[in-house]
Structure 1
Amino acid sequence: MLGYDDPGGPYRPAGQHYEPWPGPRTYPRHRADLPPGTVWDAPPPDRSRRRGPGRLLLAGLLIAVFSAASGGAAGWYASLWANVTQAPRLAADAAVPEALIGAAEVALSGVVSIEVVSDDEASSGSGFVIDGKGHIVTNNHVVASGGRITVIGQDGEERTARLVGRVERTDIAVLRVGDGAEAFRPLKLGRSADLKVGEPVLAVGSPLGLSGSVTAGIVSAVDRQVRMGDAGRQSAVQTDASINPGNSGGPLVNARGQVVGVNTAIATIDGSGNIGIGFAIPIERAAQTAQEIISAA
């Protein structure tokens, strides 16, 4: 977890030993005493406006390190957008809430809860289906601890998934469900590059183990630079849609139900939880990493 000592000082490491955030789901094995997620720091704060200590956390429950090889198959990458309909941008009127209801329904059909259990560790997060072959995108830090991977869809059925690959640098991993893949509806991908500040978005996933949760907000910033582990500062979509531990790997969707980001991190102050500052990996970067993982498998 990263923080700072003085109101005007730069962010720096302030320790990485924290208890996992409690959730309603009980795990059958001992949960290891590990931090709730990989830690990122934000850019140096504005000295004139910073009022108190803060920190930036991944919205997952466990961490590890890994890197995966990359590959080609640009055609597969492009095909993810092949069927996306470029609908007119919605006006800011009474139709927006109704559109969000439809977007939530679409997104929930392709979102899964993810549980990873080993002999002495357990982690959980979210993910979403991207094709008819059962490939699921999530965050690397959700599955990096290793163990048996189970995904649970909106039908409540538990299905075993295998890890196809993961990349720590981009914090993206790909899973695949064997039997029962037909039960999931692949989500369409939008373009984070088309997002506008103030545009409504939904964060979908399993915060604190509460599967099928949807929170609404707006795009707060479209090119927020945050430091992502060892990869240096990278662009992220900032949103005030509520994101909490367990949301990691779930989709951030626009009002048309298209995925525009992968929910990954939140800023907190003194362990206060969500304060309306969340970050999502742009879908273009996440999809390219997923394509590379699948091509190299």
Structure 2
Amino acid sequence: MVNTTNHRTAYDDDAAARGGALGLGRPRGPDFLPGASAPPAAPPPGAGVGPAPAAPVAAPRRGRVLLTAALVAAVVGGGAGVAGARLGAEPQRAAPVALPRSTAGPVTVPGGLSGIAAQVLPSVVSVETGGGNGSGFVIDATGHILTNAHVVDGRTQVSVVFDDGRRASAEVVGSDETNDLAVLAVRDATALTPAVLGRSADVAVGDQVLAIGSPLGLQGTVTSGIVSAVDREVPFGGSGAGLTALQTDASINPGNSGGPLVNARGEVIGVNTAILSRRGGGSIGIGFAIPIDRAADVAERIIRN
């Protein structure tokens, strides 16, 4: 099931850095169980008859094994040299100096993933709260930014960092805890690039998608995948209400919260929000995004009010 902390979904932000009240906890590696030692084999019938078995030989240390392997290789190599001397009439081919490489340059296929990423990245921001980080994206030319409510976590002021490195203070205009969405506003809206909002109603299973955000604070990270399912019921927000989401195998990790999930035309079709993970956290290829049709309606209501 979806990991929860204090009855909240295991969101993919870095709230764990604030003590684990939200999010997936501090990232760590998988847990390994020591292999169980096999029981000793039962003695065969007639054991104890005849001469006593030889004492077991201690296993050689690793360094000794490596040295033995090297000596064997040297002996084999010497034998090969003798064989080569005897077959001196056979011509020997020189190893190639370098393998041929393509000179075509960067892949610039129209509609390629790199083109989609370049189109959307200027609209994506990193959201810094002082106790963690998340992601967001510009939704209009007046300076409004959409993110998750659990990213701002009740704050009224946060900082946003744009793709070009610019930093700005942003006011939290409002939040919808049930839908886990929040709208920010920056005062200086010059040179902003609003993202193009698509229609999540048109999304089909198997559609190619990109997830863009700042996982673990790594701003501008792009991961790719497909839509794994639509209308997947997942508990969102503090109320734990079961709302439908887009499921994707694009890698989503703490810090991706609030970032866009975009289609092959670079249109935002969802807001990356949560992941399903095993103990210890981290992406296992099951992520969820709030459909943009619902997210846009909530954003419009927050801005109007």
Tell me which interval the TM-score lies in, with the shorter structure as reference length. 0.5 to 0.7
Unaligned residue ranges in structure 1 (runs of 5+): 4-12, 24-30, 40-93
Q: Which one of the candidate residues 112, 115, 133 is aligned to 2:125?
A: 112
Measured in 1, the distance between the counterparts of 2:252 and 2:125 equals 16
Aligned positions of 1:269-288 closer than 5 A:
269-288=278-297
TM-score, normalised via structure 1 length? 0.68
Measured in 2, the distance between the counterparts of 1:258 and 1:175 equals 20
Matched, 1:219 2:227: yes
CA RMSD of aligned residues (A): 2.8
Unaligned residue ranges in structure 2 (runs of 5+): 26-106
Q: Which structure has more strand as a fraction of its residues? A: 1
Cα deviation for residue 213 of structure 1 reads 0.6
SS at 2:170 equivalent: strand
Q: Which one of the candidate residues 204, 212, 226 is aligned to 1:204?
A: 212
SS at 2:253 equivalent: coil
Q: Which one of the candidate residues 279, 291, 304 is aligned to 1:295?
A: 304
Q: Rate the CA distance shift 1:22–1:191 in 2: closer, same or farther, 3 A.
A: closer
Amino acid at match of 1:252: L
Write the deviation string for residues 35-66 of structure 1: whole angstroms up to 9, x where unpaired.
23399xxxxxxxxxxxxxxxxxxxxxxxxxxx
Aligned residues: 219
Match of 1:228 in 2: 236
Measured in 2, the distance between the counterparts of 1:198 and 1:251 equals 18
Q: Which one of the candidate residues 247, 255, 258 is aligned to 1:249?
A: 258
Rg: which structure is higher? 2
Cα deviation for residue 96 of structure 1 reads 8.2
Aligned positions of 1:24-35 closer than 5 A:
32-35=18-21
Cα deviation for residue 234 of structure 1 reads 1.1
Write the deviation string for residues 159-190 of structure 1: whole angstroms up to 9, x where unpaired.
111111011011000000112x2222001111
Measured in 1, the distance between the counterparts of 2:140 and 2:233 equals 30
The question of whether the paired residues in 2 share the 8 Å contact of 1:115 and 1:123 is answered with: yes
Matched, 1:133 2:142: yes
Amino acid at match of 1:137: L
Amino acid at match of 2:127: I
Measured in 1, the distance between the counterparts of 2:221 and 2:110 equals 17
Cα deviation for residue 145 of structure 1 reads 4.1
Aligned residues: percent identity?
54
Measured in 2, the distance between the counterparts of 1:158 and 1:214 equals 20
Match of 1:165 in 2: 174
SS at 1:183 equivalent: coil
Q: Rate the CA distance shift 1:171–1:193 in 2: closer, same or farther, 3 A.
A: same
